[in-house]
Amino acid sequence: MMVVNKTKVMVIGGGTTGVGIIRDLALRGIDAVLVEQQDLAHGASFRFHGLLHSGARYAVNDFSAAKECIEENIILKKIASTCINNSGGLFVQHKTDRDEYIGEWLRGCSEAGIEVKEVSIQNVLNENPAMSRDLKRIYSVPDGIIDGARLVWANVYQAMEYGARVLTYTKLSGIYTANGKVTGAEVINTLTGQKSNWECETIINAAGTWADEVAKLTGIELNVTKNKGTLLVFNQRLTQKVVNRLRIPDDGDIIVPHHTVTILGTTSVNTDEPDSAKPTSGEVQILLDAGRELFPEIDNYRLLRAYAGVRPLYAGNGEVKDDDGRDISRDFRIFDHAHNGLNGFISLIGGKLTTYRMIAEKTVNYVCKTMGIKKKCQTAEIPLVDSKRLLTMDGKVNKFAVRYGIRGEMIQKYLQQNPEKEITLCECEDISFAEVEEVASWKSTNNLDDLRRKTRIGMGTCQGLYCSFRSLGSAWNAMKNKPQHPLRQLVCFLEKRYKGQKSVLWEAQIKECELTLGIYSTIFNLERVEENSEV
């Protein structure tokens, strides 16, 4: 007989929205489980530009979004400081951008409460010499840089500490109902194929781009507009602050220095195939053309890869205006499917990463009301990593707490026991053997690609050339006991790293790609391993 597990609330989807909700539930002391079909943050939560909005981008077109953004921006800088680089941002007016927009924009920012200051062009150019000389005005705003994967895991680690359960590689396969009410769910482990049953009172569908598929399990039609955004990654920091174009939001307006690289985005086009969304060469051109106006030498920088994320947008009453999703508000909507005759089933559509905490708060407030629970939200007050764990004895910020949230202390402990593991494994992103070996041993790390999202191996200039072999080798005893054969993990990892390089395979990057091929095909003969041993 199948084991039946019990919980009160089941959350579907391990992106920022879902993890925000599970954290909120956990901090209120409500028993909950989160179910994610792949790894956490495999979707739009990690496939975006990494910008923590100040709201200034929405000051003209979407005032309420602007207001929400700045409120959340201030809260997140306080509670999620480990995931945020408080770099500040710039809005720059190129000589071709209309002057009339600026007055409107300044008014919007001021009304929303976004602090805007005009800054000297010369000072900005001194600090960012790669920027164009064709700029008319520059304003500073409180934008920041946020690491989506880090944010997701920090939420989850804390939620788990407060008693929440989180199941990755677990797909919702059925929803049980009785008398027009949700009673439970069947889930399936996508790695082992094992099924299990859960009893629960409420299911929150926060599956983002996949929310319509989840709703369909109950026969309910949900209208999610899937909007693909393509982004480019350069191998160095082109600026120190976030740079936005001061004009009506358009393609290629946002430039974010993220860790050791720079991300340029985005485009916006609706898609029917969220699982196979990939950048086109046309989109790469559009982004380069836009980027060139602010960074004239952009073609001479090394382009590492292009990738696409799919935004789940709320499509109003089922009507999409045109193919460009940017006109649709990115605001989120809560759908209580009681209106469809099913109690205890809630779907969310839309939302932005910057406002993920607020979305979670509103959702859980609503759910508590329907369930008759009276507990206050605490997510804006309790930080993801408390200062005791964040600071070392001598008051410095602990690097591992920044990278791994409350689990940073596990890395610290591993390093104390194995001091020789301090040496660097990944030179691009400065990641040690200790980090890789400890994180690989965690149950939630199922393969090299999961390890990448947690540690950033493979994200830098070499795109996995050294670190994939080294990670697999150093964490071998952990990796060989994961569900996927370790050499298969290596092949998949290299394949995914290659996928992003495919549409930018020129200049330095074709050399890097040839070198990687030279090592894994010519030296290690890895393509034959797969053929010969049914890995």
148-161 vs 448-455: helix axis angle to the nearest 10? 100
Contacts of 525 (CB under 8 A, 6+ apart): none
Residue 318: name the closest of 333, 305, 306, 307 by CA: 333
State which residue, 213 or 530, has the beta carbon closest to other proteins.
530
Nearer to other proteins, 314 or 433 (CB): 433
When binding is defined by CB under 8 A, the residue of 63, 391, 469, 484 that contacts other proteins is 469
Applying CB under 8 A, what is the total number of residues that bind other proteins? 49
Kindly state the smallest distance separating residue 232's Cβ from other proteins, in Å: 12
Task: Determine contact, residues 13/36, Cβ cutoff 8 Å.
Answer: yes
What is the x/- site pattern for other proteins, positions 258-297, by CB under 8 A?
-----------------------x---x------------
Give the Cα separation of 44 and 42 in Å (integer): 7
Distance separating the N- and C-terminal Cα atoms of the chain: 32
The window from 193-201, 246-254, 340-348, 490-498 that contacts other proteins (CB under 8 A) reads: 490-498
- In angstroms, give the least distance from the CB of 524 to other proteins: 5
Which of 36, 33, 37 lies closest to 184 in space, CA to CA? 33
As measured in angstroms, the least distance from the Cβ of 528 to other proteins is 8
Site membership for other proteins, residue 502 (CB under 8 A): yes
What is the DSSP-derived secondary structure letter of residue 180?
A: T
CB of 470 to other proteins, least distance (A): 6
Kind plus residue range of the DSSP H or E element containing 109? helix 100-112
Q: Which residues within the stretch 408-437 sit at the binding site for other proteins (CB under 8 A)?
A: 420, 423-425, 433
Tell me the window of 40-48, 215-223, 437-445, 480-488 that interacts with other proteins (CB under 8 A): 480-488
Write the CB contacts of 143 (distance below 8 Å, at least 6 apart in sequence): 51, 52, 53, 54, 56, 73, 87, 88, 89, 241, 242, 244
Q: How far is CA 203 from each of CA 42, 53, 200, 371, 446, rounded to the nearest angstrom?
A: 21, 30, 7, 12, 26
How many Å apart are CA 87 and CA 69, to the nearest integer? Answer: 16
Angle at 271 between CA 333 and CA 152, to 5 degrees: 55
Q: Which of 466, 478, 482, 500: binder of other proteins (CB under 8 A)? A: 466
Nearer to other proteins, 181 or 278 (CB): 278
Tell me how far, at minimum, the Cβ of 523 lies from other proteins, in Å.
6
Q: Check residue 329 for interaction with other proteins (CB under 8 A).
A: no
Stretch of 30-38, 141-149, 174-182, 494-502 contacting other proteins, by CB under 8 A: 494-502
| Of 188 and 465, CB closest to other proteins | 465
For other proteins, the binding residue among 49, 311, 470, 482 (CB under 8 A) is: 470
* DSSP string covering 339-408: GGT-BTEEEEE---GGGHHHHHHHHHHHHHHHHT------TTTS-SS-HHHHB-TTSPBPHHHHHHGGGH
CA dist., res. 298 & res. 291, Å (int)? 7
Q: Give 136 or 488: the residue with its C-beta nearer to other proteins.
A: 488
Strand order in the sheet with 345-349: 165-167, 32-35, 9-12, 202-205, 345-349, 333-336
Q: Which of 38, 30, 49 is nearest to 13 (CA)?
A: 38
Task: State the minimum distance, in angstroms, from the CB of residue 400 to other proteins.
Answer: 20
Looking at the Cβ atoms of 118 and 289, the one nearer to other proteins is 289
4 binds other proteins (CB under 8 A): no
We find the least distance from the C-beta atom of residue 512 to other proteins, in angstroms, to be: 9
Q: Give kind and range of the element (H or E) at residue 309.
A: strand 303-314
* Nearest distance from C-beta of residue 42 to other proteins, angstroms: 19
Binding mask 505-534 for other proteins (x = CB under 8 A): xxx--xx-xxx-xxxxxxxxxxxxxxxxx-
Place of tokens 């290629």: 252
C-beta of 277: minimal distance to other proteins in Å? Answer: 15
Residues making contact with other proteins (CB under 8 A): 281, 285, 420, 423-425, 433, 466, 469-470, 472-474, 476-477, 480, 486-487, 491, 494-495, 498, 502-503, 505-507, 510-511, 513-515, 517-533
